[in-house]
Amino acid sequence: MRNAFSALVLGAAAISTAGCASLTGRQAAPDEFAVARNAPLIIPPDYTLAPPVAGTVTTTNDVQQQAIDAIFGGPAPRSMGEMSLLDQAGRDSAQIGIRSTAWDPDTRIVDKGPVTLSILAVPESNSEVASAQIQQ
């Protein structure tokens, strides 16, 4: 009798903790298709783009400049102080293409002297100890 009573108590506990789903026989899960309605498919408009014609010239510089201006805002107007500083620095007397020759190895910007030039002209070595020999 004691075993029957404990089995009945365990069964009641199992049914009460399982909830109502164990009594009805099926679970009440939400229907995902009833929650939202599917939107109809939309056909995009027909953009009748013409293919490029062979032999025509494209204006890539114009397009690139427009993109640069759109990103960076184009050239900004200079103040009077900046214009005065540039005039005093001699912007009108600068050589054309000076920026191309400034990093040229043959261009001597500062007179470094024969000792410094001989140190810079030493070929690379594979040794771990750094050494330089200067001819006198």
Query: What one-character-per-residue DSSP string does 43-83 give?
Result: PPP---PPPPPTTPPP-HHHHHHHHHHHHH-SPPPPPHHHH
Return the C-alpha torsion angle 48, 51, 57, 63, nearest 10: 50
User: What is the pTM (predicted TM-score) of this model?
Assistant: 0.25
Collect all residues with Cβ–Cβ distance below 8 Å to 122 and sequence separation of at least 6. 132, 133
In the prediction, which pLDDT does 84 show? 92
Q: What is the pLDDT of residues 33-78, one digit of tens each?
A: 777 777 788 877 777 777 777 877 766 667 788 888 888 887 788 8
Q: Is the pLDDT of residue 20 over 70?
A: no
CA distance 103 to 96: 15
Q: Residue 15 in contact with residue 22, Cβ under 8 Å?
A: yes
Tokens of 123: 């070929």
In the prediction, which pLDDT does 13 show? 77
